[in-house]
Amino acid sequence: MTTNKKPPKTVIVLDRLRSAHNTGNIFRIAEAVGADEIIACGYTPAPPHPKLEKTAMGADKMVPCRTFASSLEAVRQLRNEGFKQILAVEPGSTNAWEHEYEFPLALVFGNEALGIAEETLAECDGTISLPMFGQKASINVGNCAAVVMYSVVAFANRHGHSGE
């Protein structure tokens, strides 16, 4: 029998996401996996926002959200708060399900077209990604967040980490 528990403290940082629908979807994912917080940076839509609320289906009221002018400010604040590992989710790096996570953990997801700001990437402890086998080599940021977050849950459960 498998016991599924939420992972230890995990925060999602969103760097300049354009779509309120994507952001709302990520709120639902965050609530589903027990993430502790979403940090919306730059022009990422944050609650209250009508399009985000529609897609989030109430999760925007269940998952705490902070906002920062930039992802760099957010990452530096998380570092000051004692986060052990801050990872950027970027193409071409270690597969998300092969990484050795440390908690508290922050995961930075970037703009659909621009990615994560370069100065923020430089402040992160490393990068993780999803393998891409198609010619487009691109998936929706919400879909990516779901796979990465469930990879974190699986890692935490395999290694006896629990946020409860």
User: How confident is the model at residue 2, as a pLDDT?
Assistant: 56
Which residues are registered as beta bridge partners of 89?
A: 109, 128
Binning pLDDT at 50, 70 and 90, where does residue 16 land? very high
Q: Is residue 5 part of a domain?
A: no
Q: Is residue 35 part of a domain?
A: yes
Label residue 67 exposed, middle or buried (CB < 10 Å: 0-12, 13-18, 19+): middle
Binning pLDDT at 50, 70 and 90, where does residue 135 land? confident
Q: Is residue 84 part of a domain?
A: yes
Q: Which domain holds residue 77?
A: 10-158
The two tokens of residue 141 are 């940021």
Binning pLDDT at 50, 70 and 90, where does residue 1 land? very low
Output helix, strand, coil percentages for the chain, rounded to the nearest 5: 35, 25, 40
Strand, helix or coil at 45? coil
Number of domains in the chain: 1
Q: Is residue 3 part of a domain?
A: no
Q: Is residue 107 part of a domain?
A: yes
Q: Is residue 134 part of a domain?
A: yes
Question: What CATH number should be reported for the domain holding residue 131?
Answer: 3.40.1280.10
pLDDT at 164 > cutoff 80: no
Q: Is residue 4 part of a domain?
A: no
Phi-psi region for residue 134, left (φ > 0), alpha (ψ -120 to 50) or beta? Answer: beta
Peptide bond into 104 cis (omega under 30): yes
Q: Is residue 110 part of a domain?
A: yes
User: How far out from the chain centre does Cα 76 lie?
Assistant: 16
**Mean pLDDT (whole number) for 42-62:** 94
